[in-house]
């Protein structure tokens, strides 16, 4: 939670309603050949209009120059220090497929792989195993019994799976069995502290049993490698800390999972943004919650694909939905992004991300437009760490008392 020890003493419960729309990978980059970014090239009449009546600025997800994954990106937007509350790869992957991960469970990401007669990995992806074959092989893995532990295996896609290790002695303090390069043997897991001793042993036994079981299957896969052993960290409760009755609306399981971990009520909804909007409208009109996290995915996907035009389109689509969100008349509407995903880089990036907060106490700037440069140069909130955004949001919602006498 935000590094401000008096937070709980200054938050107050009010009737005001907040909608926080997170556009994944919102920020972009000026393409060096044209000198304009996706947001600058897009036609965004609704967002431009909204910007002119909002408090605008840019947020740095982690630190200057640091490119965050979606985990740290979202944690920061929710006011959690993204370095302190880092969710492990296994946990995030598990949340992304709705795996059941409880308190002390350890989750890991796994690959089916191919090894040669000398036990050397020749293909870390088992010939890009099909998802159907993956499902079949996962059934085999789920028959393995290791005394004192339960290994629950879930197929993900292609050659990838998730293992959730349950048991009294389960600990994530162990090393990976995935050497992350071909030409190496499958590694032995070793404990990195006393706590990890029995889990490392169990992981090695599980790997050996898996190799036996995979000997005679139809695919090329004859081994497994695991990495990102992690447990769910102790996380302060979002609702308690902010005195909010918070709900999350996200089509993608990972974002549902993360928001659920923080204590938000994860609302049922379909995969598409239109499904999410229908869910939002229903609950908003029924006055069910006072904070809604609403996730918009397409801008990130287009950026990851390196598709400048598709990213423009994704933002323009978002723009077209702004009026129906405004029609709900929330006291506070926030639009933010977890990180930038410039199509020029085809990946997440470190660049500051535009945000706006519309409420009846917003500080607006007449000539501002909805893009990175305009928000950086003209936004009344300036440049802030993403971790501080929730404070600004609560302030705009009238949900913060004065600090100190």
In this structure, what token pair is assigned to residue 401? Answer: 């008392």
Residue length of the chain: 405
Smallest gap from residue 34 Cβ to a copy of itself (A): 12
Smallest gap from residue 169 Cβ to a copy of itself (A): 25
Query: Given candidates 14, 67, 104, 217, which one binds a copy of itself under the rule CB under 8 A?
Result: 67
Query: Given candidates 17, 40, 68, 164, which one binds a copy of itself under the rule CB under 8 A?
Result: 68
Q: Which stretch binds a copy of itself (CB under 8 A): 18-26, 145-153, 178-186, 388-396?
A: 388-396
Q: Are 141 and 112 in contact (CB under 8 A)?
A: no
Query: Strands 55-60 and 382-385, how do they pair?
Result: parallel
Q: Which stretch binds a copy of itself (CB under 8 A): 87-95, 100-108, 205-213, 276-284?
A: 87-95
Q: Which stretch binds a copy of itself (CB under 8 A): 159-167, 175-183, 302-310, 375-383?
A: 375-383
- Residues 6 or more apart from 286 whose CB is under 8 A from it? none
Smallest gap from residue 405 Cβ to a copy of itself (A): 4
According to the binding rule CB under 8 A, does residue 377 interact with a copy of itself? yes
Please, which contacts does 72-77 make with residues 24 or more away whose CB atoms are closer than 8 Å?
Answer: 73/337, 73/338, 73/339, 73/348, 73/386, 74/22, 74/255, 74/258, 74/259, 74/338, 75/258, 76/338, 76/385, 76/386, 76/387, 76/389, 77/20, 77/22, 77/336, 77/338, 77/386, 77/389, 77/390
According to the binding rule CB under 8 A, does residue 386 interact with a copy of itself? no
* Start-to-end Cα distance in the chain: 23
Smallest gap from residue 281 Cβ to a copy of itself (A): 27
According to the binding rule CB under 8 A, does residue 208 interact with a copy of itself? no
Q: Are 205 and 197 in contact (CB under 8 A)?
A: no
- 238-262 as b/e: b if 16+ CB within 10 A: bbebbbbebbbbbbbbbbbbbbebb
In this structure, what token pair is assigned to residue 147? Answer: 């005394």
Query: Given candidates 38, 39, 83, 333, which one binds a copy of itself under the rule CB under 8 A?
Result: 83
Q: Which stretch binds a copy of itself (CB under 8 A): 16-24, 234-242, 266-274, 392-400?
A: 392-400
Question: Site size for a copy of itself, by CB under 8 A?
Answer: 70
Q: Rounded to an integer, what distance in angstroms lies between the CA atom of residue 391 and that of residue 79?
A: 8
According to the binding rule CB under 8 A, does residue 116 interact with a copy of itself? no
According to the binding rule CB under 8 A, does residue 228 interact with a copy of itself? yes
Helix axes 70-77, 253-261, angle to 10 degrees: 50
Smallest gap from residue 111 Cβ to a copy of itself (A): 15
Query: Given candidates 20, 39, 41, 58, which one binds a copy of itself under the rule CB under 8 A?
Result: 58
CB nearer to a copy of itself: give 122 or 175: 175
Query: Strands 55-60 and 353-358, how do they pair?
Result: antiparallel
Give me the sign of the Cα torsion angle 378, 379, 382, 387.
negative
| Placement of tokens 């290994």 in the chain | 151
Query: Given candidates 175, 190, 317, 373, which one binds a copy of itself under the rule CB under 8 A?
Result: 373
Smallest gap from residue 363 Cβ to a copy of itself (A): 6
Residues of the shown chain interacting with a copy of itself in the complex, contacts defined by CB under 8 A: 2, 4-6, 10, 29-30, 32, 35, 58, 62-72, 82-83, 86-89, 92-93, 228, 344-345, 347-352, 360-366, 372-373, 376-378, 380-384, 388-396, 400-405
């Amino acid at each position: 939670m935000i590094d401000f020890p008096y937070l709980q003493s200054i938050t107050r419960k009010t009737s005001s309603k907040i909608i926080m729309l997170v556009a994944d990978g919102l920020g972009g980059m000026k393409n060096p050949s044209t000198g304009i970014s996706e947001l600058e090239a897009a036609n965004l009449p609704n967002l431009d209009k909204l910007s002119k009546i909002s408090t605008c600025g840019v947020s740095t997800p982690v630190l200057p120059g640091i490119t965050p994954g979606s985990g740290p990106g979202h944690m920061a937007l929710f006011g959690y220090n993204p370095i302190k509350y880092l969710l492990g790869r296994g946990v995030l992957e598990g949340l992304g497929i709705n795996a059941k991960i409880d308190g002390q469970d350890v989750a890991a990401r796994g690959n089916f792989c191919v090894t040669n007669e000398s036990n050397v990995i020749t293909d870390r992806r088992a010939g890009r195993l099909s998802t159907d074959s993956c499902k079949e092989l996962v059934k085999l893995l789920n028959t393995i019994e290791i005394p004192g532990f339960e290994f629950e295996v879930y197929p993900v896609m292609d050659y990838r799976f998730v293992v959730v290790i349950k048991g009294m002695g389960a600990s994530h303090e162990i090393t990976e069995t995935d050497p992350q390069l071909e030409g190496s043997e499958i590694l032995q897991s070793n404990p990195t502290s006393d706590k990890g001793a029995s889990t490392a042993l169990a992981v090695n036994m599980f790997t050996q049993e898996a190799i036996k079981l995979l000997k005679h299957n139809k695919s090329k896969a004859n081994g497994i490698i695991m990495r990102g052993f992690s447990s769910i960290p102790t996380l302060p409760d979002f609702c308690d800390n902010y005195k909010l009755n918070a709900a999350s609306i996200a089509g993608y399981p990972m974002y549902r999972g993360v928001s659920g971990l923080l204590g938000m009520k994860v609302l049922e909804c379909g995969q598409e943004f239109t499904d999410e909007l229908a869910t939002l409208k229903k609950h908003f009109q029924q006055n069910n919650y006072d904070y809604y996290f609403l996730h918009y995915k397409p801008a990130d996907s287009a950026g990851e694909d390196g598709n400048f035009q598709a990213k423009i389109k994704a933002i323009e689509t978002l723009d077209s939905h702004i009026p129906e969100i405004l029609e709900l008349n929330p006291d506070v509407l926030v639009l933010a992004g977890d990180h930038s995903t410039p199509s020029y880089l085809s990946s997440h990036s470190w660049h500051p991300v535009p945000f706006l907060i519309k409420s009846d106490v917003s500080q607006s700037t007449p000539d501002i437009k909805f893009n990175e440069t305009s928000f950086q140069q003209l936004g009344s909130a300036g440049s802030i760490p993403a971790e501080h955004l929730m404070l600004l949001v609560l302030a705009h919602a009238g949900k913060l008392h004065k600090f100190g006498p």
